[in-house]
Structure 1
């Protein structure tokens, strides 16, 4: 049974994530303990609310360093919602720019849509080699609640990394709905609120833990 830690840094639907992971067979602990977060088979980084507040909470428990150390050792991390957004270089909300974890290049900004927040069920466009979406039909819907997202995928000379598998969705304009890059995966939507589709995705992630 895979040992999974849901990182508690004061943000996110911790118990919902815990229940969803238990449902698909994981041995789950919700904690901010550094050693547990480093040694588990898979680390889940949830997040709700403002980018800046989430980054402040994450740094308080040294979560940014935990993520960095796990990825340096090839150990899986899954970001969810704002837990995905903070993996990028920066976030801009209400004109305020906040530095993120910098695992992926790019900026999280307000959705370009007539109706914000984007709240409800939506389909996604996943690449063929996706691990997270393996076995899921193209018309499968996932549950989103967000006003900000990565609206484009940026690759720069400062980030000489293989191009990740990027999944897109549309609300007004295109935005990044999920990304997979070696041990680092993330979803803008909430798998724990996405019913059987979310359970299938979490099962795929657990299987990839090895």
Structure 2
């Protein structure tokens, strides 16, 4: 699992990776309101915290170094592979990039960005036409963009857990939940009974398996 080579202090990679993922998410989310920017800002803070520990300064590894060296005496805590803590804790052998959790993280990341892109296209056209977004992912859940962000965050946590991002994750879940409720109140004020009918047949976060039969528009 360990190659014996230090893999930190690479601040160029911190900046490069953070910028790529934040701009990629921005291109789909397109924050416009103050609420949008708060949501996107929290996501960006998570991404920066993640890559700082992945390539810059491994705070979690240092804080747990005593425990790790006691329980895993052959572990080189300064190698990049050791940062994949789930692989260490579950006793996985070989390259952690090919482990079950790492592969699952790639699936979650890809699915999250695909869902984010799909939801943004539907929402963009709905906003331009001043209509309620009820097609595509919105036909199955009311807040596909928030679900997409959570999938992306969870994907990163499966790949590279840190104490800070593990602490931030439930906070972000609560934040997205509250933003979803605020957004629903705005939609009810704007679309009235049309939104009530939509919300009555469309789950908030857990996707429905079949499309609703009711006419929503």
TM score, norm. by length of structure 1? 0.24
Q: Say which structure is richer in helix.
A: 2
Larger Rg: 2
Calculate the TM-score normalised by the size of structure 2: 0.23
- Of Structure 1 and Structure 2, the greater strand share is in 1
